[in-house]
Amino acid sequence: MVHDEPHTPPFSDFAHFENTSVWKRKAVEEKIAACDLRLAAAEKEIQHLRATRFGLNELLNRTSLIMSTLPLDVLTEIFAVICEKPTASFDYGALPGQFQIGAVCRAWREIAWSTPKLWTTIYIVFSQGRYATQERLLREWVERAANCPLQIYLSVSYSSQVQWEPPREIFRMLLKTCHQWKSFIYDFSSISFPSALNQSKNLTFPLLETLQVHGGEERGWDDKQVWNFNSTPQLRHLNVRGHRRSFSVNINWSTLTHLSAMFELPGCVHLLTLPHSLQKLTLSVLSSHGHLHHSGIDRLRYHPRHLTSLVIEGGARLVGLLLRQMTLPALKELDIDLYDDGLNYAWISVVTELAQRSTFPLTDLTLRQATVRDEDRILQVFAAIPSIERLELDCSDLSGFSLSNRSISLLQPVFQHNNQNEIAFLPSVTTFKYKGNISFSVDCFENLIRKRIQAVKEGRISSNNANIANEFHIDITYRNISWHQNRNPNDLQQFYMAITSLLSVSFSMGVTFKLEWAEDDT
């Protein structure tokens, strides 16, 4: 049997196959290259069309938007209003106004980036992880502001793990523009800033109106060193925080009108001996472990002629010691916040003596206290100041105090009968706010509202208390839920129905009232 040998193509067949494959591959590669060229051309055309469309959108905006028809100077004024930040409700987390403007369109971005007055308010919350970017941003921000007055608000992102703040170099850079500062607020317990401040020479602050500094003595800062703010002829507002014992600052004290500070008693005493013409003073008196006879409180005599507003908080004894040394003839607003220091200090007599000694025209009184449980003793304070128009009492941290019928009755208006003037205990009060426990009856509260409405209707207020007929606002937030839980449901229903019927009448008469329960925060 003969076996066939496997067929082997001749060599010429392999060569022909290889030549054919090369030719076909080259043809495909050429087609791919041609396709790539067409894709590149198409992408270029798409980019061109997108750019053209972007430009057409700008033209459309100029023809359709009201804002686009405004002159440049008017538009920048509108933008400037957006970029201004009020200090009372400052939000460090908000996107700056100029960045919001720049995100709208290229035309607005060009305006925002090239208008110095839009960059005059600088606010940054420094963060260790983003500091390199923030430093570059801050330098660009200052450059864009050019020579405009600056309002600077700085803070540091809080971290319980790491005590970090920007290095002093960034503050040295900012201090080169100190002649432009209109306000400088650094809300952080700082070491870097005062170090940079004291190492810089020949600094002047001719425009500075508002200054807030936060010392860092708990982080090793020497509170005996002087903070040198030389030449501050325009300084009006100073806020000093983070210092317990004292604070040495080189400023023009005589120009200050508003001062806020937080010190132990010796620091407060020293502060009140400095020459200034304050209109508003806010003091936080910190507890001290030292002896009070070293504080100089006995030698203090504080008799400001222009002070119209005083806010003071601290332990009852410490606050009382300061108030005992004050005479405030121009005072119109008094806000006292007393903590329970366990010393049973007789602060009631201190406040009444202050009123008698000062004979001030006080109209606004706010009292937060956690020491006196006797309602009649609190009423002694109010009796000593018959000029009160706005009264706020907060006893929410004192479970033993309760607002009774006596206080509610004293808020009732005074009527004239048979040409005889009746005298009310709180004749001028038009606004009363209270937080704490209550024990007054529903009938007493309803009677107060009815009489206030009647007073407005009939206008029969005594001549000494004519203002009381114009309006009256009462706002009571009580904490003891038992006040309504222990009452007869039928009585409560009748009370709520009566109050509801009064609502429609009272609002038009300028009489508003609120009585609500709020759960104790503790």
Alpha-carbon span 450 to 316, nearest angstrom: 38
- Residue 314: how many CB atoms within 10 A of its CB? 25
Confidence of residue 505 (pLDDT cuts 50, 70, 90): confident
HSE-CB of 241 using CA atoms within 13 angstroms: 11
Residue 206 confidence (pLDDT): 93
pLDDT surpassing 70 at residue 14: no
With H, G, I as helix, E, B as strand and everything else as coil, classify residue 121: strand
By CB atoms closer than 10 A (0-12, 13-18, 19+), residue 490 is exposed
Place of tokens 């919001």: 100
Q: How many domains does the chain have?
A: 1
H or E segment and range at residue 342: none
The predicted model gives 173-179 an average pLDDT of 93
For residue 373, is it within any domain? no
pLDDT surpassing 60 at residue 475: yes
pLDDT surpassing 70 at residue 218: no
For the chain, the maximum distance between any two Cα atoms, rounded to a whole number of angstroms, is 155
- The more confidently predicted of residues 277 and 98 is 277
Alpha-carbon span 511 to 443, nearest angstrom: 18
Alpha-carbon span 150 to 120, nearest angstrom: 5
Residue type for position 10? P
Residue 423 confidence (pLDDT): 45
Residue 229 confidence (pLDDT): 85
pTM of the model: 0.78
Q: What percent of the chain has pLDDT over 90?
A: 38
Mark out the alpha helices in 397-488 (DSSP H runs). Answer: 405-409, 442-458, 482-485
With H, G, I as helix, E, B as strand and everything else as coil, classify residue 392: strand
Alpha-carbon span 106 to 53, nearest angstrom: 13
DSSP letters of 86-107? -STT--TTSPPHHHHHHTT-HH
Please, which residues have CB within 8 angstroms of residue 84's CB and are 6 or more apart in sequence?
97, 121
For residue 522, is it within any domain? yes
Mean pLDDT of the chain: 82
H or E segment and range at residue 240: strand 237-241
Mean pLDDT lowest for which of 71-80, 348-357, 504-513?
Answer: 71-80
Tokens of 375: 């309602």
pLDDT surpassing 50 at residue 522: no
> What is the domain range of residue 443?
391-522
The predicted model gives 496-507 an average pLDDT of 82
Alpha-carbon span 244 to 263, nearest angstrom: 5
Residue 517 confidence (pLDDT): 92
Alpha-carbon span 403 to 383, nearest angstrom: 16
For residue 434, is it within any domain? yes
φ, ψ for residue 396 (rounded to 5)? -70, -20
CA torsion 367-372-374-376 (nearest 10°) is -40
pLDDT surpassing 90 at residue 368: yes
Residue 67 confidence (pLDDT): 60
pLDDT surpassing 60 at residue 121: yes
Comparing CA positions, the residue from 107, 104, 105 lying closest to residue 115 is 107
Comparing CA positions, the residue from 181, 215, 175, 217 lying closest to residue 197 is 175
For residue 469, is it within any domain? yes
pLDDT surpassing 60 at residue 374: yes
Q: In 381-495, which ranges are E strands?
A: 390-394, 402-403, 416-417, 420-421, 431-438, 472-478
Q: Which letter does DSSP use for residue 5 in this model? A: P
Comparing CA positions, the residue from 322, 263, 330 lying closest to residue 298 is 322
| Cβ contact 435:477 at 8 Å | yes
| Cβ contact 153:185 at 8 Å | yes
Residue 110 confidence (pLDDT): 78
For residue 421, is it within any domain? yes
Residue 224 confidence (pLDDT): 59
By CB atoms closer than 10 A (0-12, 13-18, 19+), residue 76 is middle
Mean pLDDT lowest for which of 111-125, 163-177, 309-323?
Answer: 111-125
Per residue in 291-301, pLDDT (tens digit) is: 566 667 888 89
Length of the chain: 522
Residue 12 confidence (pLDDT): 57
Residue 186 confidence (pLDDT): 84
Residue 440 Cα distances to 150, 158, 219, 425, 491, angstroms: 54, 46, 51, 17, 14
For residue 401, is it within any domain? yes
Secondary structure (H, E, C), 293-334: HHCCHHHCCECCCCCCEEEEEEEHHHHHHHHHCECCCCCCEE
For residue 6, is it within any domain? no
**What is the rounded radius of gyration, in angstroms, for the C-alpha atoms of the chain?**
36
Comparing CA positions, the residue from 215, 219, 279 lying closest to residue 247 is 215
Tokens of 393: 């009492």
| Cβ contact 241:215 at 8 Å | yes
For residue 506, is it within any domain? yes
